[in-house]
Amino acid sequence: MTKKNTKDIMDTFTESFPLLQAIYDIYDLTPNISEDENNTLRRSIEMTTLELLELTVMAQRQSQSNKEFTLRQCLNKIDTILVFVDLAKQTSHVSKDKADDILKKVNVVSEMIEGWQDKLTQ
């Protein structure tokens, strides 16, 4: 698969499912956490964000009862990201401004997932 095809697939998918783009926006900011690509906090945030993305894709195709469980797992991943970003800020692996940018994106994703949960219970 060429790079162009991968981008086309991602663009099409995120247009129909904006939550994925919001999660990708978090992932896109992780290089701000540390210049050292081997930094454990950076890698943990990247991996947790990818797990959140995976859970979101799974939830989209699940039955309602399974979807509710998966969305709770998504919120758990969000809580983990919040802790990791706070820890990165406390240990000076990311500036306060860049951490705040990441946290804003995480809050947007959290609100979107909570809205999705609310729709399921209506």
> How many domains, in total, are found in the chain?
1
Model confidence, pTM: 0.84
We report the CATH number of the domain holding residue 40 as 1.20.1440.60
104: domain range? 3-121
DSSP 94: S
Contact 41, 32 (CB under 8 A): no
Q: Is the pLDDT of residue 99 over 80?
A: yes
Amino acid at 63: S
DSSP 39: -
Smallest Cα–Cα separation from 56: which of 82, 24, 19? 19
- At 6-58, the pLDDT tens digits run 555 555 555 558 899 999 999 999 999 987 877 899 999 999 999 999 999 99
Tokens 């969305």, residue located = 71
Contact 55, 74 (CB under 8 A): yes
- At 44-61, the pLDDT tens digits run 999 999 999 999 999 988
In this structure, what are the phi and psi dihedrals at residue 57, rounded to the nearest 5 degrees? -65, -45
